[in-house]
Amino acid sequence: MDDPLPGYVGEARRILEEAGVSVGDRIRIIRGDRVFEGILMPREKLYPRPIIVVKLDNGYNIGIRVTDKTRIEKIGKLVKPSPLIPPETRRRENYPHVIIASTGGTIASRVDYETGAVKPALTSRDLAALVPEVFDIADIDTSIIFNIFSENLEPKHWEQIVEKTREFIEKGYDGVILTHGTDTMHYTAAALSFALRNLPVPVVLVGSQRSSDRPSSDAAFNLISAVLVAAEAPFSEVVVVMHGETGDSYALAHRGVKVRKMHTSRRDAFQSINDIPLARIYPYEKKIVLLREDYNRRNKKRRLVVENGFDPKVALVKFYPSITSEIIDFYVDKGYHGIVLEGTGLGHFPERLVESIRRAVEEGVIVVMTSQCLFGRINMHVYSTGRKYLEAGVIPGEDMLPEVAYVKLSWILARTRNPDEVKRLFQTNIAGEINPRHNVHIYPRWYHGE
């Protein structure tokens, strides 16, 4: 940071320069009868409006508009982030030891000053420096696995993350945090859930819906919650930790095989489907409220089981009314090993595609059925169409999300290609991806005007 006021232009920059403050200083902003105190944050150049971004003591960033009447006072010196990170040689006694490893995504991104778009840039070290609260909870190391927007991640990247996570766990960390782009976080969470089992400590995926240098970022809230889970949660599973509602009250820890990004932009985009989250997390109160008892318990003596490897030759095919059998033939002819159908309702595809599916199965391609409804369970016995697909050899996907069924099939096909064995494994509940009993609560309540 050569510029002491990165991102500030115009009136906002003028008033900050006048007050002699730099990014990182603790400042007081007085505007009429309102007073704000906090750390001056860097600003992105997207918005030319004169806004000063301050990190408040509750850990949250706000943008304050500069008016004629705004005064600024410096009340503390620039806090260099580096001393905040305890070097590995200076461990504090009785503090859990957590690692934050970044894979890219918005939580580790900042605005690209040239294009105005958001690009991955911050390392988890930078990020930890921006969220010093995490050091109240644990000693923290950071690592960069890679820096890739999550829409570009492929099964080979899951394998790298699995391998790195195994290393972290074997090094004896009390919890592993993986920062990840939100777009495909649920795919990676499912992949880790199948590949890393009997976990001694939690593996936490966390991201943010707004980049960490934006005033409205959810990065700090989510990261503190993730550190709390990694350091203290009684469950050692692969979980996604993200905002639970739009306010700043709690985050949720979702089981990695039962969660999905359900909104393009809301902070509470991640929600459990056909399941209830493991816990609510209150990051400021440092409190974890468990919502269930059926989890793998944290136990550092537990022997981690790693079964890494994913078959990329698996396709996810969503039904649409003009779909033809050509698309099934295409995948068979291209040598794919598995096809996940995202059918309608209880698990249907048009009858006109049955013969192409039968051919696929006969040629050794594993075909499974899921539903584009997302909620509920497949039942291919009720209607004649479903029965025809069953008879053609399609394996019903229970209450698995299409995305999870896709990851599971990719994982199974890297272990075995024997159809009977694939079928057996696919219908076995390996990581909680099959919820045998749905209570009425797990379907959300829609607004109907009451």
| Range 102-131, binding its own copies (CB under 8 A) | 112, 115, 117-119
What is the footprint of its own copies within residues 391-430 (CB under 8 A)?
Answer: 402-403, 406, 410
Other Cβ atoms within 10 Å of 423 Cβ, number:
15
18, 35, 424, 443: residue in contact with its own copies (rule CB under 8 A): 443
Stretch that binds its own copies, among 61-69, 231-239, 322-330, 413-421 (CB under 8 A): 322-330
- Kindly name the residue from 55, 164, 258, 261 that is annotated as catalytic: 261
Contact 41, 23 (CB under 8 A): yes
Of 232 and 403, CB closest to its own copies = 403
Question: Which long-range contacts (C-beta less than 8 Å, at least 24 apart) are formed by 88-97?
Answer: 88/141, 91/139, 92/139, 95/138, 95/139, 96/137, 96/138, 96/139, 96/174, 96/175, 96/230, 96/231, 96/232, 97/138, 97/139, 97/141, 97/172, 97/173, 97/174
Is 234 a binder of its own copies (CB under 8 A)?
no
Strands 175-179 and 97-102: parallel
What is the footprint of its own copies within residues 351-370 (CB under 8 A)?
Answer: 351-352
Is 146 a binder of its own copies (CB under 8 A)?
no
Q: Provide the H-helix boundaries in 91-241.
A: 124-130, 155-170, 185-195, 219-232
Of 25 and 433, CB closest to its own copies = 433
- Phi, psi angle pair for 212, to nearest 5°: -70, -10
Is 387 a binder of its own copies (CB under 8 A)?
yes
10, 20, 172, 444: residue in contact with its own copies (rule CB under 8 A): 444
Task: Name the minimum Å distance from CB 419 to its own copies.
Answer: 21
221, 250, 282, 426: residue in contact with its own copies (rule CB under 8 A): 250
Task: Name the minimum Å distance from CB 145 to its own copies.
Answer: 16
d(CA 68, CA 70): 6
The token pair that represents 108 in the structure block:
């580790």
Is residue 260 helix, strand or coil? strand
68 is catalytic: no
Of 19 and 390, CB closest to its own copies = 390
What is the footprint of its own copies within residues 21-50 (CB under 8 A)?
Answer: none
Other Cβ atoms within 10 Å of 119 Cβ, number:
15
Other Cβ atoms within 10 Å of 45 Cβ, number:
14
Total of chain residues touching its own copies, rule CB under 8 A = 94
Task: Name the minimum Å distance from CB 321 to its own copies.
Answer: 5
Contact 338, 367 (CB under 8 A): yes
What is the footprint of its own copies within residues 170-229 (CB under 8 A)?
Answer: 182-184, 187
Is 342 a binder of its own copies (CB under 8 A)?
yes
Contact 365, 338 (CB under 8 A): yes
The helix (H) or strand (E) run that includes residue 356 is helix 354-362
- Kindly name the residue from 183, 248, 311, 329 that is annotated as catalytic: 183
- For residue 73, the Cα-to-chain-centroid distance in whole angstroms is 39
What is the footprint of its own copies within residues 56-85 (CB under 8 A)?
Answer: none
Task: Name the minimum Å distance from CB 234 to its own copies.
Answer: 16
Stretch that binds its own copies, among 86-94, 95-103, 228-236, 377-385 (CB under 8 A): 377-385
Contact 180, 157 (CB under 8 A): no
Cα dihedral 349, 351, 353, 359 sign: positive
183 is catalytic: yes
What is the footprint of its own copies within residues 251-310 (CB under 8 A)?
Answer: 252, 261-266, 268-269, 271-272, 276-277, 280, 289, 291
Of 200 and 277, CB closest to its own copies = 277
399 is catalytic: no
d(CA 213, CA 14): 21
Of 142 and 371, CB closest to its own copies = 371
103 is catalytic: no
Residue positions annotated with a catalytic role = 106, 182-183, 261
